[in-house]
Amino acid sequence: MPQHPSVDLSPFPPGFRWSAATAAFQVEGSRAADGRGRSIWDEFVATPGAVRDGATADPGPDSYRRHREDVELLAALGVDRYRFSISWVRVQPEPGGPVRQAGLDYYRRLADDLLAAGVTPFATLYHWDLPSVLEERGGWLTRDTALRFGEYAEIVAQSLGDRIRHWYTLNEPVSTSLQGYAVGTLAPGRQLLFGALPTVHHQLLAHGLAVRTLRASGAEEVGIVNNHTLVLPASQADADLTAAAVYDVLHNRVFADPVLTGAYPDLEAFGIPPMPVEEGDLELISAPGDFYGINFYNPTTVAAGPDDSPVPFAIVPTPGAPVTGFGSEWPIVPAALTGLLLDFRERYGDRLPPLVIGENGASFPEPDHVDGPVRDSDRISYLAGHIDAVGAAAADGVDVREYTVWSLLDNFEWADGWTQRFGLVHVDFDTSARTPKASFDWYRALIAEARA
C-alpha cells in the first residue's frame, strides 16, 4: 500500500467543504481559569480509576491560552471550517446564575481570529460538559436540564450570534445516553441500562429548543450531530438478526427518527420503555434542520446476548477487519460508512436534509515526544479510505456536503486520557508544543487538489 494513498475526488460536488474538529474539554486546558465552573467531566476525572493512568485534562494542548497557534494551523491546512465547542461552564458556571464575560470573550476572540484567517467558525453548543450542579439535580434524566440548556443557548446566541452563524446543537447524544448513563464508561458514570432512556428525549428536546433560539438569532445553519454506526449481525441466525435490530434502534433510530420523522420507533415492540414525551415535544424536536450531522468511526457487529445478560445483545469483533489503537472495539471498514449513508437515504427519503460528516478519524500508537513529523501512514490510509467511502455515497446520489477530520490536535481522549492520539497535529502533553504530522500535509494537499 502506498504511503500516501490518493482519493478519487470526482464524486464530490463543487463547493464541498473540508473541515477539522476539536472539543472544549479535550483541548482547552486551563480548567481553573477565569471563573470556569465544574462539569461532569471534571467530576469524572477526579474519580479514582475512572480515567486511564489517572490523567487529567490539563494542560494538554492548552488551547484556551494558545488558540492562535491552532488558527495558524487551520489556515495552513486550508480548511473551510473549524468545528470547536463552547464550554457551558466557561460561559455560565451555574445555570440560572451569572454569565462569565471572560468565557464569552475567549470564544469571541477565537471566532474573530478564525474569520480573519478565512476559516468559518462552526461551533458546537454542547460537547458533553454538563454543569455539575445540573447533574446533582438529575442531569439529562430530568426535563429541567433541557430547559436550562435552552437558556444557555440564548445567552450564547445573543453574545456570539453576530460572528458565529453555523451551529451544531448537541454532539453525540447517543454517547451521553448509552456510555454516560446506561453503562457508566463515560461521564457522569451512571449504570442505569434501560433506565437511561429518558436522557435521549431530554437531549433531543434541548436540541429543539436550541434550534428555535439560534434561528431567531439569525443563524445560517443549525443541526444536530450524532455518532452513528452501521450495525452488522454476527450471523443470519434469527437470534443475531433480532439482537442487531434492537441495537440499531438503541444506537441509531431512537436518536435519528424523532429528529427526522417526528416520531420515535416502536420501542415497545422491542421491549424498550417508552419515552417521556409531552405535548409539543416532537414538533419542536423535528423542526427541519439545515443539515444532519453524522460522526462515524466504525461499524458494530452484534450477536445475541448470553442468557444471563441484562441486555439482549452483545457487541463482538468484526471478522477480518483491521483495527485502530482501540483494538477490536474500533474495526476499520470504510465501506461501512458508504453503507450507513445509503441506509439513511433509504430510511428517511425526502425527510433527510443535506448530510455533514461531523467527525471521522482514528488513533494509532505514537510517541509522546517528537523532534519532527510523525509518519502516520496508518491514519492517512484510514482517512483516504473513509473519504473515498463518502465519495462513493455521493456518486450514488446521497447529498453529503462536508467532511470533518477528528481531530486537528492530539487531545484528551475522555476515559482513555492521553493514551489515544487522533490528531493531524502531534501535541506534547507536557509542553503543549504542536508538530504537524504527515497526515496534516496529506490532508492539506487533498484540500488543495479538491479546489484546483
Residue-wise pLDDT for 1-40, tens only, equals 344 688 999 999 999 999 999 999 999 998 888 899 999 9
pLDDT given for residue 1 in this prediction = 35
Determine if residue 414 is labeled as part of a ligand binding site: yes
Determine if residue 171 is labeled as part of a ligand binding site: yes
pLDDT given for residue 2 in this prediction = 40
Report d(CA 29, CA 45) in Å as an integer.
13
Domains of the chain: 17-451 (3.20.20.80)
CB atoms within 10 A of CB 3: 10
Whether 188 contacts 44, CB under 8 Å: yes
Which grid coordinates belong to 385?
479510505
Which grid coordinates belong to 88?
457551558
pLDDT given for residue 271 in this prediction = 84
Q: Edge-to-edge strands of the sheet including 231-233?
A: 231-233, 300-304, 313-316
> What pTM value is reported for the model?
0.97
Residue-wise pLDDT for 329-374, tens only, equals 999 999 999 999 999 999 999 999 999 999 999 999 999 999 999 9
The amino acid at residue 376 is D
Question: Predicted confidence band at 220 (pLDDT cuts at 50, 70, 90)?
Answer: very high
Reduced to 3 states (helix: H, G, I; strand: E, B; else coil), residue 71 is helix
CB atoms within 10 A of CB 212: 15
- Please identify every residue annotated as catalytic: 172, 359
pLDDT given for residue 5 in this prediction = 84
Over residues 388-417, the mean pLDDT reads 98
Q: Which residue has the cell 462513493?
A: 392
Does the pLDDT value for residue 288 go beyond 90? yes
Does the pLDDT value for residue 66 go beyond 50? yes
Mean pLDDT for the chain overall: 96
CB atoms within 10 A of CB 225: 26
Report d(CA 288, CA 293) in Å as an integer.
13
Determine if residue 297 is labeled as part of a ligand binding site: yes
Determine if residue 369 is labeled as part of a ligand binding site: no
Report d(CA 87, CA 69) in Å as an integer.
20
Does the pLDDT value for residue 318 go beyond 60? yes
Tally DSSP H helices, then E strands, for the chain: 15, 15
Percent with pLDDT over 90 in the chain: 94
Does the pLDDT value for residue 50 go beyond 60? yes
Report d(CA 251, CA 367) in Å as an integer.
34
Residue-wise pLDDT for 226-249, tens only, equals 999 999 999 999 999 999 999 999
Residue-wise pLDDT for 179-193, tens only, equals 999 999 999 999 999
Determine if residue 413 is labeled as part of a ligand binding site: yes
- Report DSSP letters for 206-261, one per residue: HHHHHHHHHHHTT-SEEEEEEE---EEESSSSHHHHHHHHHHHIIIIIHHHHHHHH
Element containing residue 83 per DSSP (H, E) = strand 81-85
